[in-house]
Structure 1
Amino acid sequence: MNAPPVLPTRAGKDADKYLLPGEDVVLATRRHWAVLVEPTVRFLPVFTLGGWLLLLDPDNAVTSVVGLVVVLGALVYYALRVGEWWMRHFIVTRRRVLLTSGVIVRTVTLLPLRRITDLTWEETFFGQILGYGSFRFESAGQDQALRHITFMPDAKHVYKEVSGLLFSADWGGAAAGDDEGNPDSERSPQAPAPRRDTEPIPPLRPPE
C-alpha cells in the first residue's frame, strides 16, 4: 500500500476542510509555473513604463503621480496572478477530483470519478519542453464546471494516476461502485423482487 502523498500547506488545509472522513488523497498539485509567463509578459512593460514616468521628472507632479499609479496597478495585478497560482490546487481522491481556487473568496469545484466518461490529455510543443499538459474531462454529456484544466505539471504521472482510478479495479472503486467511489459491497442490500400476481397459487394440503 502506497504511503499518502505529502501535501503542500495550502492543499493540506483544503483537504482537511473539504474532504469527507476517510477520503484518501491520491495526489494534490498546483498548476505549472509556466502559467505565470503570460502575466509576467504583461506586467513587465507596464511596470517599466510606470517606473520611467515616475523617475522622468521628479519635480513634475503629473508624471510622478501617473507613474506611481501605473506602478502600483501593475504590482497589484501581478500579485493577484501569483496569489491565484499559489492558492489553486488540483486534488484527486479515490472518489472525486476537486479544484480549489481563490485568494480572497475560496471556490471548490468537484466532479465524482464515477461520472467521468472520457479523459483527454494534451501536451503542446512548449508543454513537452517545460513539462506540463492539459486535461479535459467529459461527463455524461453535461457541461461541467471542472472540465478543462490547463498547465498541469508532470502531466504524464498525473494522467496515469487518474486513469488508474477511472479504469482499474486495483485502485479501489472508481471503476466499480457508486457515484462516490464506494465499492459495490457497501451499497444497501436490494429488496427481494415482488411476487407477481400471475404466479400460480400453491395447492392446498389435503385434510388429514
Structure 2
Amino acid sequence: MSFIESNLLPNEEIVYKTNLHWFIFVPAAIVFTVGIALIVAGYLQNLSNQILIWSGLAALAYGIVSFFIRWIDLKTSEFGVTNKRVLIKIGFIRRHSLEIILNKIEGIGVNQGILGRILGFGTITVSGTGGSKEHFAQIDDPLEFRRQVQTRIES
C-alpha cells in the first residue's frame, strides 16, 4: 500500500497521482555513456592507455550507482491530490513529506525550463498559509498537478 493510500482520511478519495519524470535518469545515462566511450577509447589504443580504461570503469560504476539511486527516488516518491488534501512523499531512509489541506493552500507555482517544457517536467512550489513554501523538482506534468489542485480548491 502506498503512502498516499495509507494516509487517507475517512471519505477521502485520490483524484490525481503523479510521479517523478523519467528525465531524472538522464545524468546517470550520460555518465554511463561517457564511461563506455572511455573504455572503448582505451581498448582502441591497444590497452596502452590504462588511464582511459580506469577512468571509464570509474565513470561506468558511478553511472550505475547514480541510476540505482534515482530508481530508488522514483519508487519512493509520491505526489497526490485528494478531494481534501495534497499529499507528497519523497524518500525512503530520509523521508520528506507534505500533507496540506486544500483550503490552506495559497498557490501552486510551476517552474519549467525550455527542456522541461518540451519533455513535460518541472518544479512545483506549494505555498501554504503562513508563508510556508515547499519545492519539489522534476515532477512529471507539473501543469496538470497544479490544475488538479486548483480544480479541487474551487469545488
Q: TM-score range by the shorter chain?
A: 0.7 to 0.9
1:30 equivalent among 10, 19, 34? 19
Q: Write the distance in 2 (CA, Å) between the matches of 1:51 and 1:143.
A: 51
Give the equivalent residue in structure 1 for 2:149: 162
Extract unaligned runs of 5+ from structure 1.
1-11, 171-208
Identity value in percent: 24
Say how many residue pairs are matched.
Answer: 152
Please tell me whether residue 128 in structure 1 is matched to residue 117 in structure 2.
yes
Structure 1-normalised TM-score? 0.57
Offset of residue 164 of structure 1 = 1.1
Aligned-pair Cα RMSD in Å: 3.2
Q: CA 1:155–1:19 in structure 2 vs 1: closer, same or farther (change >3 Å)?
A: same
Task: For residue 2 of structure 2, give the secondary structure of its aligned residue in structure 1.
Answer: helix
Extract unaligned runs of 5+ from structure 2.
none
Please tell me whether residue 72 in structure 1 is matched to residue 61 in structure 2.
yes
Q: Write the distance in 2 (CA, Å) between the matches of 1:81 and 1:105.
A: 14
Q: Write the distance in 2 (CA, Å) between the matches of 1:121 and 1:67.
A: 38
Question: Which protein is richer in helix relative to its size?
Answer: 2
Structure 1 ranges of 4+ moved more than 6 A = 50-56, 62-67
Question: Which protein is richer in strand relative to its size?
Answer: 2
Relative contact order higher in (CA < 8 Å, ≥ 6 apart): 2
Structure ID, larger Rg: 1
Q: CA 1:47–1:63 in structure 2 vs 1: closer, same or farther (change >3 Å)?
A: closer
Tell whether the 8 Å contact from 2:14 to 2:80 is kept in structure 1 after alignment: yes
